Amino acid sequence: MQIESTALPGVLIFTPRRYGDHRGFFAESYNRLRMAEAGIGIEFVQDNHSLSEAVGTIRGLHFQAPPHTQDKLVRCGRGAFLDVAVDIRRGSPSYGRWVAAELSFENARQMLIPSGFAHGFVTLTPQAEIVYKCSDYYAPETEGAIRWNDPRIGIDWGLPEGTTPVVSDRDAGAPWLSEIDSPFTYEGPLPWEVAR
């Protein structure tokens, strides 16, 4: 498995190796031992799978607050999408900054999004499937969100000119970053940042 850093410290890209022949391919999409060797001791407890029918569907920016924070390992089951992480840890040197990576069935890339980062994505193909692991269970009472088009964050969602994004009412009405009291505090580099 190849591991790459991103412009946001703590957010990583994983690319599992695929072994292919005339039948197709085999790949280990997750290996706890390989993660531990890279300094990542996250225990994942829940897998989620979502389907977005239309190109330009935006979901996010979402997070779960303490005591049910979630680290996420996100990959694409079918199609392609642009995955986005935003640092919302108060006091972080990268507070309010974002990073994005295209994840697709073809490229097999995965994004590790630590707790303390808001997460969102936009679909680049019809019927895009998003599959992700979480380090804590879904706890609706701790859910939070930030407006996907917050100008202070300034995410380039990569949508073609004139494309109207498909957004839920909840996401369309989410607060701006300046309107939330972030439940996350920067506590220094994450263990895998130090290990790298």
Q: Are 37 and 117 in contact (CB under 8 A)?
A: no
Nearest residue to 12 (alpha-carbon basis) of 193, 149, 153: 193
**Backbone torsions φ then ψ of 179, nearest 5 degrees:** -95, -10
Find the distance separating the first CA and the last CA of the chain, reported in whole Å: 15
For residues 102, 118, 40, 12, the Cα torsion angle rounded to the nearest 10 degrees is 30
What SS3 state is found at 11?
Answer: coil
Per the document, the length of the chain is: 196
CA 135 to chain centre: 13
What residues are labeled active site? 62, 132
Bridge partners, residue 102, by sequence? 82
Cα 71 versus chain centre, distance: 9
